[in-house]
Amino acid sequence: MKKLRLFAFAILLLVGFIRPYAVYAGFPIGKYRDLVVPSFNYYSQTNHYDVYGNYVKGLPGARYTSMSANLYLGYGISRRLDLIVSVPYLYQVNTISAGKSIISQGAGDMVAGLSYNLVNYSFKRFLSVQVSGVVPLYTAVSGTSALGLGDYGTEVKLMFCGTLPDFIADKGYFNTEAAYRRYFNFQGPDQVSFLATVGYPISWHNQVSFDISVMRSFSPNKSFNINYNAERDYAFVKPQLNLGHTFTRRFSMFVGGYYVPYGINTGLGYGGSIVAIIKL
- Least Å distance between CB 32 and another protein? 6
DSSP conformational letter for 228:
G
Q: Which is nearer to another protein, 7 or 259 (CB)?
A: 7
Quick check: 192 binds another protein (CB under 8 A)?
Answer: yes
If the CB atoms of residues 36 and 135 are measured against another protein, the closer one turns out to be 36
Residue 182 found at the interface with another protein (CB under 8 A): no
Contacting another protein (CB under 8 A), which of 32, 55, 184, 259? 32
In the shown chain, the binding pattern of residues 199 to 228 toward another protein, with x for contact by CB under 8 A and - for none, equals -----x-----------x-x----------
Residue span 140-159 as binding mask against another protein, x where in contact by CB under 8 A, dash where not: ------------------xx
Give the residue among 213, 257, 211 at the shortest CA–CA distance from 236: 213
163 and 175 in contact (C-beta within 8 Å)? no
Cβ density class 165-190: b for 16+ within 10 Å, e for less? eeeeeebbbbbbbebebbbebeebbe
Binding-site size, another protein (CB under 8 A):
46
- Contacts to another protein from residues 35-74, by CB under 8 A: none
Sequence-distant (6+) residues with CB within 8 A of 106 are: 89, 90, 137, 138, 147
Q: Are 142 and 41 in contact (CB under 8 A)?
A: no
User: 77, 110, 85, 35: which is closest to 277 by C-alpha?
Assistant: 35
Return the sign of the alpha-carbon dihedral for residues 35, 128, 89, 66. positive
Q: Which helix (H) or strand (E) holds 4?
A: helix 2-17
Which of 15, 103, 131, 202 is close enough to bind another protein by CB under 8 A? 15
Would you say 230 or 235 has its CB closer to another protein?
235
Phi first, then psi, for residue 16 (nearest 5°) are -65, -30
Q: Which of 40, 42, 194, 224 binds another protein (CB under 8 A)?
A: 194
Q: How far is the CB of 229 from another protein (least distance, A)?
A: 21
- Considering the rule CB under 8 A, would residue 121 count as an interface residue with another protein? yes
The answer to whether the bond into 136 is cis (omega within 30° of 0) is no
Where do contacts with another protein occur on this chain (CB under 8 A)?
Answer: 1-4, 6-15, 30-33, 79, 119, 121-125, 127, 158-160, 165, 176, 178-180, 190, 192-194, 204, 216, 218, 248-250, 279-280
